Amino acid sequence: MNTSIHWTARSVPVPGLGELFSEAVGPADGQPVLLVMGAMNPGHFWPADLVAALVGAGCRVLRYDHRDTGRSFVMPPDAPPYGLDDLVADALRVLDAWGLPRAAVVGWSMGGYIAQHLAFEHPARVSHLVLLASSPDHRPYMAATLGRPVPTDGLPGPVAGFLPALMAASVGAFNRAPEDVAVDGWAVFHGGSLPFPAERVRQQARAALADGHQPLAAMHHALAVDRAQPRMAWLPQLNLPTLVLHGAQDPCLPLAHGQALAQLIPGARLAVLDMGHLLPDALAAPVGAQVAAFIGAGTAG
């Protein structure tokens, strides 16, 4: 697929703090799609082939860098901690800045948590909900990664071997090239039979660092998520088309998390993909086409 697409950038002010970096591509009158990235990563980590498939279907695609990532503002070291609600407000600011009253929202991992809140708290702003490698309950994963016991009466924590592998990937991080650390770290999140997209991850990491991305600042996302409440109680109240995409071999949010989303949200569709928590290159374009078909892009009405 031709991934030569040209983005138009726009700064999004966050009063008293700074500006979020956002971009749009595709026809101005196309069906709006907001891509919400997961924790600790800037917006350009969305695979280019996925974006190209959406644009090819006539979508107007937006992506942005969360606060503390990429080209967006970095919180001062002495600033009060922020929460997931602040990240939800940032997503709304992006829609407002581009003059979009409503959009299909595609959230990946933590981006899926944000997307769920948008759909529940601001239903008029979300036409379709797409949740990729996400969960209704982040607590098992957060407990495991922060060294707390994982409850045994809910959704499962990461698979056996995930945390040791993640720790091993970070050994000697300060003595290695940052892009090599990124590749090693993302490899732990990979799963399924398709090749790990090492070169894409390396290029994305280099581009992020060149843009000024500060990985340590992005750690604030984990603290914001850890303070948030799970979403199981109100997900059954959602009333919009929902597509859940989840990897059969997701090592950090096992498949049960995607299945739970599909069970909790009325009418939600579940598609199980040959992947872990990271979208392989071979699936990027097909997933983009699947999302476009789900939201009815390029069709009448």
| Angle, CA 132 vertex, CA 261 and CA 247 arms, to 5° | 85
Instruction: Return the pLDDT at 263.
Output: 98
Contacts of 224 (CB under 8 A, 6+ apart): 81, 82, 83, 84, 86, 87
d(CA 107, CA 101): 18
Residue-wise pLDDT tens digits, 212-239: 888 878 889 999 999 999 999 999 999 9
What average pLDDT does the structure give for the chain? Answer: 94
Instruction: Return the pLDDT at 301.
Output: 39
Residue-wise pLDDT tens digits, 21-53: 999 999 999 999 999 999 999 999 999 999 999
Bridge partners of residue 107, in order along the sequence: 36, 131
Catalytic positions, please?
109, 250, 277
- Would you give the distance in Å from CA 251 to the centre of its chain? 16
Q: Could you give all domains of the chain from N- to C-terminal order, each with its CATH number? A: 8-294 (3.40.50.1820)
Instruction: Return the pLDDT at 180.
Output: 87
Q: CA 150 → CA 145, 241, 260, 286, distances in Å? A: 10, 32, 17, 35
Q: Is the pLDDT of residue 140 over 70?
A: yes
Mean pLDDT of all residues in 143-153: 90
Q: Is the pLDDT of residue 300 over 50?
A: no
